[in-house]
Amino acid sequence: MIKCICVAAALLLAGGLATARFGAALRQPAVTTRDGSLVTLNRYVREPTPDIVLVGSSVTWRLKEEYFSLPRVRNLALAGGSPVTGLEIVAKQARLPKTVLVETNVLSREPDGALIERFSHGAGAEAPLLRPVRTAVAAYETWNHAPPDPAQARAERDRLLGQPPSTFDNRVYLDRTVEQMNEGDPTVPARANAIRLRQLIEELQRRGARVFLTEIPFAPEIADSRFVRMTGAIIHEAFPDRALWLPIDPPRSELRWADGVHLDERSALIVVRSIESALTERGAARRP
């Protein structure tokens, strides 16, 4: 018992020192789990508001922040989640980003009410007693998994673009995914999400943010599936104004998908380049 008390006291002391040294809102790296999503959202509500925010599902999550050459980009896409969740959280903050990109590929999932409530109006802060401990953990994680600096990120982008397209045979995964996406009916949840997206977009626009809808490229077999065709028809019917859509037109012959749905790293970078080009043409971003 004495040893446990001593260890706990030492941990709290270390956490207190870390808090004093780094502050209570130390940036923590994002990973692929739900905990990583919580870390990403924590970063968003605590740090200065970025210029560009992406919301969506795991389809957009693959577009890593370090792939962007534009500054101040934050990716709030949630693996297994709905774009409505991220957009609700963005809309509930006191300060808005200049530009918000909303992925429309996956609209069959309900918004995560628990996440929205937790991060409404800058919520999501941990109890004061735990803050020193979390700050100490953040200090270690930041040191151990520090994000690449601009030079490293640029070198990684150059390395990926210098590679040829992947020759990985994804047919077994693609066939399974196509079969799944030809089942079920996304009509009811997709229409409900489209209505909520319209409400949120109008609110963000009234407050001065620019909002664009995006469709991340799928493999042709996936794009022709029942799920994608029905979802696409619903969202385009709900948002017929082409000025609201950000055209993403990368060279399709260069794109590869691990499973037909999720882009591989090189392809994700190519799509990011197309997004940046489209944003620049729309005057929604400036090159550094």
The CATH topology of domain 2-281 is: Rossmann fold (3.40.50)
Q: Is the pLDDT of residue 182 over 90?
A: yes
> What does the pLDDT look like over 217-238, one tens digit per residue?
999 999 999 999 999 999 999 9
Strand-by-strand arrangement of the 73-75 sheet: 73-75, 52-55, 99-103, 210-214
Does 130 score more than 60 pLDDT? no
pLDDT digits 0-9 by tens, 238-279: 999 999 999 999 999 999 999 999 999 999 999 999 999 999
Which H helix or E strand runs over 17? helix 2-22
**% of the chain at pLDDT higher than 90:** 70
pLDDT of residue 21: 52
The pLDDT assigned to 175 comes to 96
User: Percentage of the chain surpassing pLDDT 70?
Assistant: 78
Distance CA 51, CA 122 (A): 17
pLDDT band of 24, cuts 50, 70, 90: very low
How many Å separate Cα 280 from the centre of its chain? 20
pLDDT tens digit string along 42-90? Answer: 889 889 999 999 999 999 999 999 999 999 999 999 999 999 999 999 9
Q: For position 4, what pLDDT does the model report?
A: 66
The rounded distance, in Å, linking the Cα atoms of 148 and 155 is 10
SS3 245: strand
Q: What's the confidence (pLDDT) of residue 219?
A: 97
What pLDDT is attached to residue 32?
Answer: 36
**pTM score:** 0.83
* Across 102-118, average pLDDT: 95
What's the CA dihedral at 152, 100, 33, 119 to 10 degrees? 120
pLDDT of amino acid 89: 97
Mean pLDDT along residues 159-171: 95
User: Which of 121 and 167 is assigned the larger pLDDT?
Assistant: 167
For residue 38, what pLDDT band results from cuts at 50, 70 and 90? confident
| Distance separating the N- and C-terminal Cα atoms of the chain | 56
pLDDT value at residue 22: 47
Nearest to 119 by CA among 167, 65, 81: 81
Average pLDDT value for the chain? 86
pLDDT band of residue 39 (cuts 50, 70, 90) is confident
For range 119-138, the mean pLDDT: 58
pLDDT classification of 136: cutoffs 50, 70, 90: low
What are the structural domain ranges in the chain?
2-281
